[in-house]
Structure 1
Amino acid sequence: MRDKNNLHLTAAEMSSLWTQYINDTLAVCVNTYFIKNVEDEDVRPIIEKTLEIAKMNLSIMKDIFDKENFPIPIGFTEKDVNSDAPKLLSDTFVLLYLRHMSILGVAASTAAIALATRSDVLDFHKRVLDKGIMLQDLIRNLMLDQGTYVKPPYISIPEKVDFVSKQQFLNGLFGDKRALTSIEISHLFLNIQTNAIGKALMIAFAQTTKDEEVKQFLVKGKKMAQKHVDIFSDYLKKESIPAPMIWDTAVTNTTTHVFSDKLVMFHVSAMIAAGIGNYGMAMAVSPRRDIGLKYASLIPEIALYAEDGANILIKHGWMEEPPQADDREQLI
């Protein structure tokens, strides 16, 4: 029987490993900085565990790349972080940030598992998934103990099972609007929270970057994130449902350079991409026309902002190329 690990890497496996490698180099930089500045001794072990997991991931992926003579991505190094810089973010926000990143990691590894063929690649992504879930549990439990965990809203339990009988269920542009479904509430809550996290990060990054073009890009993103928070919060508030808090005050007043502009631009661009995916998913499961159309109108706005970010990355030579298919026309 043929050894399943002797199969060539598929495009999907190259993509997932390459992306994971870049993200883990970023995680090493960010958490190395967090470790130096953490004050809450209950938070420290979680940062240490996150850093340990990222380093082990990199070691496993390097072994896979070496076996395939696959060029190891550069990603980010100690040159991309000033570990001695003063504290930029509160420990509570660091916990929230790490939880958000672990959620993105779980989603990515789940997709990678679905497309993996080789057993070693499959085992690796299962490991990433397990560690991501473990981190979520650790962070959630600590935030619950500290009283800082923001739970999604509560609604009444349905009295009975029912079926939609009128087209009015889809209304939203004109006439009466039905109440929000639990699914719509979940996605509105998630998208408020992710925009609030993104806004706080862009404030922190803009405050500490020296490049004027990058700074203006981040300021524009901060305003856009606040706009989206306000839009989604209005849907909840109109039905007396509480919206998540914003995290602007979690950023300290330091202006010392912390992360390289290359790392900042990559990080923001990656979060924009995740946001577009969140909006697409929310649009697909929101039957009320006004909500679905609102998501549809916001996606092009974010996509254009993402293009601005890509142009900055390319202009400065900061965008590392992912694996690509052979260009047959060029070869011919």
Structure 2
Amino acid sequence: MAHPPVRLRPIVRAVSAATAVLAAVTVVAGCSSSPSASGPSSSSSVAASTTAAAASFPVTVNASNGKVTVKSAPQHIVSLSPTATEDLYAVGAGKQVVAVDQTSNYPSGVPVTSLSGLTPNLEAIVKYQPDLVVASQDSGGLVAGLTKLGVPVLIEPAAATLDAAYAQIEQIGRATGHADQAAQTVSGMKTKIAAAVKQAGNSHADLSYYWEISANPYYSATSATFVGQIASLFGLKNIADKADKAADGGYPQLSQEYIVAAQPQLVFLSDNEASDGGQSPAVVAARPGWSGILAVKTRQIVGLNDDEASRWGPRLPELVAQIAQAVEKASGK
């Protein structure tokens, strides 16, 4: 899912040069990996869990960074993306994950480290002796540096569509030896999403909404974005669509006057958590000048789970369910 400027954090330092990384590998090559206490079970346990899938390797997948070949079932996976982490555990590859980045927080008990997907440190990554690395972007020469070391890297960027999100889950399943469970995961997601849409209905052009990504300034998401397409499953009218410009990339900055004048009947908050400024329904309702907005009058302000609203993984059905409940309530179903 493409993110608006306000949700991106600048890259503050480059990764070490390839020569430095090669030197680091020489030092750590003989060392065992160092997963946290909440990490996976022993290597023997991991090997046992992947024996059945071993026959399907080597496998080649078409990732965003091109064709990537994984020669054997990976037993030391490093994830540098919260969505990829959720995907890995959803398809059954959790026991193979030895380290995840500092922003990965689901499911509980994942081996969180200080690794960063935005500013990857190759020396820190190779200390976990990975045989597969999954990330959402190729920052700081991540792919080139690890490829020189013989470590396959899958770049799975923000999904633009639901089908793209499904494809990534299936791709990660194939690359880790869990193709069948990945297919089951995707099938289950599709079933849950279809059921939620059917229950709430998909023809609600009479219901307008404002999707808030941040406040002061107010950034929103249009129907062309990933989350906008999710909301469009219900046929809702997005007030940000008329304000969008090509340069905004689907994430226009709206003025308070514009939002108030648009009179959205639903307000979805994806900046609901305290760490993002705490823009809760109560905070929104108390904003000066907002008392006249229809969504405020009818208490149709929905505080979404921030992580579910900014990721494109296996918890998408939960996000759709939240929207569905709001639509049913607003439409009187």
**Structure 1 length normalisation: TM-score?**
0.26
Q: Larger relative CO (CA 8 A, sep 6+): 1 or 2?
A: 1
Higher strand share: 2
What is the TM-score when the length of structure 2 is the normalising length? 0.26
Bigger fraction of residues in helix: 1
